[in-house]
Structure 1
Amino acid sequence: MTAKTEAAPAGLPIAGPAEVRKAAVGLMGQDRRAVAVMLILNGLAAAAGLGGPWLLGKIIDDVRGGAGVGHVNRLALGILCFALAQLLLGRFARYAAHRFGERTLARIRERFVERSLVLPASVVERAGIGDLLTRGTSDVATVGTTLRDAGPEVSVAMVQILLILVAMLAVNPLLGVCGLLCLSGIWFATRWYLRRAHAGYLKEGAANSALIEILTSTAAGARTVEALGLQERRITATAEAVERCRATRTYTLNLRTVLFPVVEFSYVAPVAAILLLGATLRDTGTVTTGAVVACALYFWKLSEPMDKILLWLDQIQRSNASFARVEGIGQVDAPPVTGADRPQDDQLDVVDVRYAYQGERDVLHGVDLTVRPGERLAVVGPSGAGKSTLGRLLAGAERPRTGRVTVGQVPVAELDPAQLRRHVVLVSQEHHVFLGTVRDNLLIADPSATDEDLRAVLAAVDIDWVDELPDGLDTELGSGGLRLDAQQAQQLALARVILADPHTLILDEATSLLDPATARHTERSLAAVLKGRTVIAIAHRLHTAHDADRVAVMDGGRMTELGSHEELLAAGRGYAALWKSWHGA
């Protein structure tokens, strides 16, 4: 199979088998010493487990040869010592494996968070938050279970199987080969299972993601669902998603119902074959009774590690699919910067831009615009005119279908996230309050900010309610703490942006949740604080346009007018009509 990334249906990418193997090898390479310790301890534990059956076979042969009680007692003591050594070595091997698993899981979690934070917003929106959420929770947890539990058990079992087979062939090659041939049923059944299990678990993971997406979107939009009477449609969609989950899980369950019965029968066949063949060979004097007993015991002991492997095989296949989904986050292309290493200045240029959402017709048609550094530009127009889409293109959240959107002659969408946020930040009406204190929520934008800096930005957006909180800046927010209303959350988000201090700020209805008087005062305060910065305000409230240096009017995905407030009023076209309508004239 190739390393080509598999496409997840309507979701984020899934890493291919070669990419998963490369990632797994890389993780083990980061902790080579622990891997070496695990292999050594597992090998010694498995070797210690071979001593018991060999000594038992020797006891049988020696007793038949007339050995005394003392000799038998010494060999029995040897069996006890081997069992104790296997117990202790196995315990330390599992301890080392568990530590390795927890460290590796921590690296996987950290890498997942790092990759998730730099994902383009457009990618997450198209894939659905449910897909990302499922990968970050259940998929990572499944990988963790394998690393912590399945990994150690399987590694010990594999070493045991290898050494048992070697010991069995050393006792008597003919009996060993006979037993191995009888195990062939396991090989065929396992191969049949593995060829189907990976794809089955990928489908199961995708179905789980789709279900989570429906549940989260329904919960988030519960009021809208109720207001529009969409309850039955959402219930039907949820029931269909549950049915898809059930079908995918039933498929993987059916695979296991074929595998396990074949395996159980294959354990009995080798022991029976060895005893039958051994009895025949003993009568001819080819083997001793002790050798037959030793080989039968070795095959009997072989069932224990094989049971462990097959018991965890389902978990490993599930984990393999989950790891492919987790690693798939890293397959989202991070666009390289083209042209200059960094923007030459902060001028934004939109040149003949057309844009269409996936599978839809264009919503922007040949838009041209230049935003000069330090300019205050208002973008107005009726609902559905393309204002927010233009804002997302200017912020690099989307790529134009044709044309260019650049900052300092560099395509905005091709800047790496850290560099992009130093130049352009988009603030929409959707705001998030992070768990932690008010101070923590602000310091995300600038960890080096002092309390004086924080109070200055709070004052800039007219936040006076922080001083009234029980612990001021140290008041806990979110679950278990103070819950901010929509207006307070919006003000806090604006303060956070000011603290980040980007050169260009795009406000997409960023004060829509404030009352008109507070919104106007906040916008004027922002204008004073952001003096010298470029501010692009997308708004329905036309007082924002009145205060701007220029106004861009959008209608039907086209820019129909561009000029100052006075110029557009004098032109007597669409903007003048909007202004009169807004004032009730």
Structure 2
Amino acid sequence: MSERPATATASYPPDRPPLRRVLRGVRRTLAVAIALQAAGALAGVVPFIAVTLIAERLSGGTAPTGGRLWPLVSLACAAGLAALILGFCAGVVGHLADNRMQLRLRLDLAGHIGRMPLGRISAAGSGELKSAIQDDVSALHSLVAHTLLDVTTLLTAPALALVYLFTVDWRPALLSVLPLAAGVYLFSRAMAGAKANMAEYGAAQGRISSAAVEFANGIAVVKSFGRGRSAHGRFLAATDAFAEFFTGWVRATLIPSTAALLVVAPVVVLLVLVTAGVALVAAGWTPAADLVPFVLLGPLVSAPMGLVGARMQQIRTGQAAAARITALLDAPVLPEPADPVAPADARVSMRGVSFSYDGRTDVLKDIDLDLEPGTVTALVGPSGSGKSTLAALLLRFHDVTAGTVTVGGADVREIAAAELYRHVGFVLQDVRLLRTTVADNIRLGRPEATDAEVERAARAAQIHDRITALPDGYATVLGADVTLSGGEAQRLSIARALLADTPIVVLDEATAFADPRSESLIQDALSTLAAGRTLLVIAHRLSTVRSADRIVVLDGGRIAEQGRHEELLAATGRYARMWHAQGLDAAGPLTTTTSSTDLSAKGTHR
């Protein structure tokens, strides 16, 4: 079997730091933005230097002439204008780099996710994927478009100011460095253990969010049983633990962080320099005119320390977002066949199938099973027996650990994904609808379908009347204009499957959470969908598959027994015990919604 290797996205080599990886392709543009920002920051210091020179000439022994002052005034104005222009250009270039990076990352993430195993995507959930594609990529905006440029300014402008001050007088220049040195020392004390504390901070917030969602999702149940006061105990415990941790962290860092901000505050720096400067002037070591540049530029030397905390937080946030993005990009993808083949018919065969999620413990072991064209095969068994996992292997949500799954004689690993899903469709309990029109949601089954074909599928799925009652009918945008109930969404997914018209269909218990009226409509829709197709049904209620052509009982990841309903009851094995445990009677009503026998009158496939 020839396959393309399942590697991470090649353009994000894993041997580089995450932030460098996500900035791939825009580093040169960012370098230009940083250079422009540095030039603008340096130009921004020139007016202050020009003012000090003007003050020096005004305080000289001779009256200054316009010829001595106007060049400095012109220099200050030109430098100020250049600083504005260069800063604006740097911002534009930085935002262009950010836009390019965000677009590329979202396209690459979408493409990579599209090649990941569907089981891995389902396990991750929409929240994790949305966080990576939307939130984490957006979190990089501040870092790329703003923080890097701000840091450039904070480094270059004070450096030029300090160099100039040393050319004026080295003694007060040294004094201007003292607040900066004190601020660095105190800030390093405040940041001790910040990495571990930030990790705990994120974990604590995650525990609060998890507890809050758990409580909100189950609030109806706990209120029904009168346990509303005690059910939110986990949430309260999580918030109390977070408050205790955060209070301790703040208490430990409050004094050094506050002191770090105070010693570099412009007023404090100015007070230190003026006091020391007056003493130097009084001692005759420094001319009075030389105090002007220190009064103007001295506070600028220590200014970065007042902003470093916020900028470091933005850098950490960007690094964390980059790490999550690259972790998703490093997730393995399903191998694509180098020489794909097409199924010959609708026969499904599983031979020696075993599967493990973690590579150590098999959840399926040595499964041999055949699904003949036009028949109904039901998978039953206790929770955790492997029913959904076995169906997922047919859909290639995962690849088998051992053995083969074939469709029409072709191994599913040798069938291109698009070709596989033209032969195998599915209707699962967890219905996913897109935020688009009703028609487009149905048309996912076959994008080229006409409006008439979409309506015909909707009618067959018993959902047409509900759609026409929507504000814009088939043009109604789901999630924006209206939200469908669970039963309505299920019928919409059945319409999608009907439109796809695949010869093989996997059905999870589609009516598990439906009300009686919706269940009746869904059963009718499923009857239409099942007609003439090869069905693999995951059954939780045994009464719904009583007339299946074959009932396969899974237990502990193995096939415990299989056969028709009457045969399994007569065997008095696992199936018979499950049947009686559900309070069913062998002579009870026959439910044949998914039976090939009772669906024969509905018409044949294709």
Query: What band does the TM-score fall into relative to the shorter chain?
Result: 0.7 to 0.9
- Over 3 Å counting, the alpha-carbon distance change for 1:238 and 1:115 in structure 2 is farther
1:258 alignment counterpart: 256
Helix, strand or coil at the partner of 1:430 = coil
Note if contact 1:509-1:539 (Cα within 8 Å) is conserved in structure 2.
Answer: yes
**Does residue 525 of structure 1 match 2:525?**
no
* Structure 2 match to 1:299: 298
Note if 1:164 corresponds to 2:161.
yes
Task: State which of 49, 59, 62 in structure 2 corresponds to 1:66.
Answer: 62
1: CA distance between counterparts of 2:271 and 2:415? 66
Instruction: Identify which of 210, 216, 223 aligns with 2:207.
Output: 210
TM-superposed deviation, 1:536: 0.8
- Summarize the Cα distance change of 1:84–1:237 in structure 2 as closer, same or farther, 3 Å threshold: same
1:381 CA displacement: 4.2
Q: CA deviation at 1:69?
A: 4.4
Considering only aligned residues, what root-mean-square deviation do their CA atoms show, in Å? 4.6
TM-score, normalised on structure 1? 0.77
Q: Distance in 2 between matches of 1:561 and 1:364?
A: 15
Letter in 2 for 1:183: L
> Which position in structure 2 is the counterpart of 1:55?
50
Aligned-partner Cα distance in 2 for 1:216–1:179 = 53
Distance 1:363 1:51, change over 3 A: closer
Q: Which residue of 2 aligns with 1:42?
A: 37
CA contact 1:130–1:213 (8 Å) conserved in 2: no
Instruction: Flag the 1:494–1:256 CA change in 2: closer, same or farther, 3 A.
Output: farther
Aligned-partner Cα distance in 2 for 1:70–1:36: 41
Taking the aligned partners of 1:124 and 1:25, their CA distance within structure 2 comes to: 25
The separation in 2 between residues aligned to 1:276 and 1:551, in whole angstroms, is 93
1:464 aligned partner: 464
How does the TM-score come out when normalised to structure 2?
0.74
The correspondence for 1:197, drawn from 194, 198, 202, is: 194
Query: Quick one: percent identity of the two aligned structures?
Result: 28
Deviation string 1:232-251 (CA, Å, 9 cap, x unpaired) is: 45301111222344355446
Deviates more, 1:465-474 or 1:188-197: 188-197
Amino acid across the alignment from 2:369? L
- Would you say the 8 A contact 1:381–1:387 is kept in 2? yes
1:40-189 pair list within 5 angstroms: 40-62=35-57, 63-71=59-67, 73-74=69-70, 75-101=72-98, 104-105=101-102, 107-108=104-105, 123=120, 142-147=139-144, 149-169=146-166, 171=168, 176=173, 179-180=176-177, 183-189=180-186
Tell me the CA shift for residue 36 of structure 1. Answer: 4.8
* Aligned counterparts of 1:115 and 1:21: Cα–Cα separation in 2: 18
Provide the C-alpha distance between the structure 1 equivalents of 2:162 and 2:534, rounded to a whole number of angstroms: 74
Aligned residue runs from structure 1 range 482-501, under 5 A = 482-500=482-500
Deviation at 1:180, TM superposition (A): 4.2
In the other structure, the counterpart of 2:585 is 581
Cα pair distance change 1:114/1:221, threshold 3 Å: farther
* Cα deviation, residue 438, structure 1: 0.9
- Residue 228 of structure 2 corresponds to 231
CA distance in 1, matches of 2:248, 2:413: 42
Residues 1:190 and 1:107: Cα distance change in structure 2 (over 3 Å) = farther
Alpha-carbon distance, 1:535 to partner: 2.4
| Per-residue deviation, 1:509 | 0.5
Measured at CA, do residues 355 and 322 of structure 1 come closer, stay the same or move farther in structure 2, by a change above 3 Å? closer
Q: Residue type matched to 1:210 in 2?
A: R
Contiguous gaps of at least 5 residues in structure 2: 1-12, 590-606
Alignment check: 8 A CA contact 2:116 2:334 kept: no
SS of match in other structure, 1:390: helix
Q: Is the 8 A contact 2:376 2:534 kept in 1?
A: yes
Q: Quick one: distance in 2 between partners of 1:397 and 1:495? A: 22
Displacement of 1:537 in angstroms is 0.9
User: What SS does the aligned partner of 1:476 have?
Assistant: coil
- Report the equivalent of 1:473: 474
Provide Cα deviations, 1:410-456, integer angstroms capped at 9, x if missing partner: 98799997677556555322223433321132234443332133123
The 8 Å contact of residues 553 and 562 in structure 1, kept in 2 or not, is answered as yes
Say whether the 8 Å CA contact 2:177–2:301 is kept in structure 1. no
Once the two structures are superposed, the pairs formed by residues 261-276 of structure 1 within 5 Å of their partners are 261-266=259-264, 268=268, 272=272, 276=276
Aligned to 1:349: 350
Q: Structure 1 unaligned runs (5+)?
A: 1-14
Q: What is the rounded CA distance, in whole Å, between the counterparts of 1:369 and 1:334 in structure 2?
A: 27
Q: CA deviation at 1:492?
A: 0.5
Is 1:131–1:213's contact at 8 Å kept on the other side of the alignment?
no
Distance 1:103 1:47, change over 3 A: same
Distance in 2 (CA, whole Å) between partners of 1:215 and 1:410 is 47
Number of residue pairs matched by the alignment: 560
TM-fit CA distance, 1:496 = 2.1
User: Could you say if the C-alpha distance between residues 518 and 265 of structure 1 is closer, same or farther in structure 2, counting changes exceeding 3 Å?
Assistant: closer
Aligned counterpart, 1:509: 509
Give the CA deviation at 1:491: 0.7
